[in-house]
Structure 1
Amino acid sequence: MPPWTELAAEKKQRQLKSIPQEWLVSTPPDSTLDVTGFPETCGLLTAREIEITNTSVDVLLEKLACGEWTAVDVTTAFYKRAIVAHQLVNCLTEIFVDRALARATELDNHFKQTGKVVGPLHGLPLSLKDQICIEGLETTMGYISWIGRYAEKNAVLVDVLIECGAVPFVRTNLPQTVMWPESFNNIFGRTNNPYNRSLTPGGSSGGEGALVALKGSPLGVGSDIGGSIRIPSAFCGLYSLRPSYGRVPYCGALNSLEGQDSVHSVFGPMTNSVGGVKAFMKAVVNAKPWLKDPLAVRKKWQEDEYNLADHGSGKDLCFAIMWDDGVVVPHPPIRRSLEITKAALEKAGHKVVDWKPIKHRLLADTTRNIWNAASAEDYMITTSVTGEPILSRFCLIGYG
């Protein structure tokens, strides 16, 4: 066996040992495709933990802020459900239970002593895609060559989230190179879709998509350049946002194709409610990330803008639908969903117009050429350290 397989096996073994043995369960056979209901029937979670993990982000934050639920209880509940999710669909990379519970305990002690929350995300467990560095942890980004590389400091976003009171508690799977709309690598293997385990959850933030869909995390952070938040959110039935570039700090995180700044990757939230998307974005923006990351946009949160105060407060809006881009015609189910959306918008009193694509093939070809410029060299340099194979379908196109 080539040496890189030994490195991968050793890393997987360390991952397994990081899971509390009492949280391992007997999972359904592979023939059971839809496993979304399994976490609540497996017997690991108590009735209260099921209630906690089924609660939306905005309500979770309210209960944490008033002391009805403790950060330790909420973190433990989601951690147990995350471990069950991992056993079902292989969605996690880094698991650090003791560290997360220690952080939750600190937050609870602060609340007991002061009666105040640390920040707007006080006590909320957060999952992070495995390119967002956390001090003292490995960040492999799906590369065997990066096993053993421990972060010396947090990515700026992690510092911001901790300042807001959040509890980072797991990191999630992605494809080798990040630049692909699926989630498979030579270290952790393939992540599957919890609604149908014979299908993909999408990518490149597929670990986040599968985990949040199974309610193993109330809110995850993915990255997106060409669909890597939007694809898994669509495949897994989640609410999410690909923010504008610079709205969420990226400094200190890892990525492929460093220096490619024609089409930027961004971080954004993935969750089970619109309230969760707002809670994340408002907390991050109000933390003034531009003071820690000079490329972050210096723009404060504006509640009036969120509520569309200058646009009729959300009434009588105009929406555009692009039925196809002149290159690819959507399959009938996609077309049907667009028609259902149009009917719902018109019923609500909004105007819907057809969006006519302009030079979409040229735009797509130009973007692909930008991503492909030296991409093969980038991947080969990284993998050459251990000789791991580059997964061939990742070489020519990027989405991460």
Structure 2
Amino acid sequence: MSQGANWQELVADKQRRQKASIPQDWLVAVPPAAVLDVTAFPEQCGLLSERELQITNTVDVGVLLQKLAAAEWSSVEVTTAFYKRAIVAQQLVNCLTEIFVDKALARAAELDKHLKSTGSVVGPLHGLPVSLKDQINLKGLETTMGYASWIGKYADKDAVLAEILYECGAVPFVRTNVPQTLMWPETYNLVFGRTLNPANRLLTPGGSSGGEGALIHLRGSPLGVGSDIGGSIRIPALFNGLYGLRPSYGRVPYAGSSNSMYGQDSIPSVLGPLSNSLSGIKAFMQAVIGREPWLRDPLAVRKKWDDEAYALAGHGSGQALCFAILWDDRIVIPHPPVIRALEMTRDALTAAGHKVIDWKPIKHLELNDAISAVWKAGALEDYRATTAASGEPIISSMSPTNDGIVDASVRPDVIGVSAYQLWQAQNARAHLRKEYLDHWEQTVEVTGTGRPVDAIISPGAPFAAPPHGKNGNSNYTKVLNALDYVACTFPVTKVDPTLDAKKPPHQFLNDADEVNYNLYDPVTFQNAPVGLQVVGRTLEEEAVIAMTEIVDSALKAAAGA
């Protein structure tokens, strides 16, 4: 950071440099703000050729990798196509932070040269463009993470995950927007501004990996990497109609990436993939785990990719599974579109020959209180220490009113606690994890399979993507971070004002439930994607991916019936 520069000067300079990094012939005339749904615009704007549209509309990452490996499509043309579409997305919804076209295309050219000269790919992700949340350090590039104080902070080496992606043949090509501090389920900061939802620009794309969600929604990237400490992969995935995986602690290496609240190890953030295809989720996890990340990151779990687990050896080989549906968490009742998505999934799984029972949630409020207490312990001190260098305000609201700056010194949700109080929260959470484990094990008595419930189907939020500043409930994702359960999101439908009419008031569980009920208006949420999550147990990434494939196939079969 420049000596003597205030935060406004730093931001103005960074914004100027970001604009200068965009090739001028990739700029297009974008629709006015009154046009809410911009998902079709990249195909209509005229910037991408027919071949580039064919490439970027190939949502199955497995197909992209096959064509790249066969040299049917070169990495340079695939990277160029996605880059152009990413720049269109940036102009529509403001989803990017770092743009480094020359660096990415030079990397793609090296991969093409290697394939041509040797006849072999560099690795399992050969030639594939991959977008990265603005946390994952790339050598020579700034990582601001939404902080004006971190402008001018250039990485002197790649994060471990970036190293591995390069070794696997990937082409990191953009970095994506986040909220200041990362600890928001929306995406806004003072450096790059607010990211919008492509399906309806009055709605949030979620957060904190909201830039990734919006970019992939517009097919500006085939595969992205986000992070998740309370839902920050899954919420953007759900709000943008994507697949997204929250792995267990340490399954994907975090070393060398930037973060908030360094040293908070009780409920750590995890890195994971987002994609328009489940093949992208699987390809990412197989590739990264295949490089034995535990040899580079001391906190990475020493666990190789398990083909038997992916074949569901511990889950009846995938035949006649028993899924449990969490209809609500007994804190907030989901909106009608989410309930309809649960019903659609139940019916599709039943038609596919699987058993579906109800899941009884236990102590979700206590779990959420425990994780919140852990976060709050030192969060405000962390935010103040980080922002002090430039004097930038600490954003205390995601509301568009006053650009979210309500109080420059305090966020009411991060009042600290003593070390002893923190220990009590951690102890309570440990007991709750044991209680939840026992609760899951006891379902063997009702499944009829001889096994406990194979997976839970749960909302990831009590609503579809809400208006900016209104995403005030992350309990449906946060509880799983407290339990360290693996969860994979999948798209189901979109909000339909006819099918999803507002229901008469129910007997409210509490004030939060009443607030959530009053938030819903089907016209406000119109066209918003609606998704759910498949929940498995700790370190069950392979099985959860496989079971999500089963759920996804059942839904697609039902839709085609």
TM-score (norm 1): 0.97
Matched, 1:186 2:190: yes
2:397 partner SS: helix
> Partner residue of 2:41?
38
Aligned residue among 330, 345, 370 for 2:374: 370
Quote the Cα distance in structure 1 between the aligned partners of 2:64 and 2:27. Answer: 26
Matched, 1:100 2:117: no
Larger Rg: 2
Aligned residue among 274, 277, 282 for 1:270: 274
How far the C-alpha of 1:360 sits from its partner, in A, is 1.6
Q: Percent identity?
A: 67
Quote the Cα distance in structure 1 between the aligned partners of 2:73 and 2:326. Answer: 45
> Partner residue of 2:125?
121
Cα deviation digits, residues 117-156 of structure 1 (max 9, x gap): 0000000000000011000000000000000010010000
Matched, 1:26 2:29: yes
Aligned residue among 206, 229, 254 for 1:202: 206
Matched, 1:216 2:227: no
> Partner residue of 2:438?
none
How far the C-alpha of 1:359 sits from its partner, in A, is 1.6
> Partner residue of 2:258?
254
Task: In structure 1, list runs of 5 or more residues that go unmatched.
Answer: none
Cα deviation digits, residues 364-400 of structure 1 (max 9, x gap): 1111111111211110111111111111138326979
Greater shift, 42-51 or 307-316, is seen at 307-316
**Runs of 4+ with deviation above 3 angstroms:** 397-400
Quote the Cα distance in structure 2 between the aligned partners of 1:57 and 1:381. Answer: 41
Quote the Cα distance in structure 2 between the aligned partners of 1:47 and 1:263. Answer: 46
> Partner residue of 2:491?
none
Residues 66-85 of structure 1: pairs in structure 2 closer than 5 A: 66-85=70-89
Quote the Cα distance in structure 1 between the aligned partners of 2:225 and 2:249. Answer: 15
1:241 partner SS: strand
Matched, 1:137 2:141: yes
1:259 partner SS: coil
Quote the Cα distance in structure 1 between the aligned partners of 2:162 and 2:100. Answer: 15
| Equivalent residues, number | 399
CA-based RMSD? 1.4
Greater shift, 11-20 or 345-354, is seen at 345-354
How far the C-alpha of 1:343 sits from its partner, in A, is 1.4
> Partner residue of 1:381?
385
Quote the Cα distance in structure 2 between the aligned partners of 1:266 and 1:173. Answer: 17
How far the C-alpha of 1:354 sits from its partner, in A, is 1.5
Quote the Cα distance in structure 2 between the aligned partners of 1:117 and 1:334. Answer: 43
1:309 partner SS: coil
TM-score (norm 2): 0.70
Quote the Cα distance in structure 1 between the aligned partners of 2:71 and 2:149. Answer: 44
1:320 partner SS: strand
Matched, 1:161 2:165: yes
Quote the Cα distance in structure 1 between the aligned partners of 2:304 and 2:171. Answer: 24
Quote the Cα distance in structure 1 between the aligned partners of 2:287 and 2:384. Answer: 39
Letter in 2 for 1:223: S
> Partner residue of 2:175?
171
Task: In structure 2, list runs of 5 or more residues that go unmatched.
Answer: 399-410, 415-473, 482-561
Quote the Cα distance in structure 2 between the aligned partners of 1:234 and 1:363. Answer: 22
How far the C-alpha of 1:25 sits from its partner, in A, is 0.5
Letter in 2 for 1:296: A
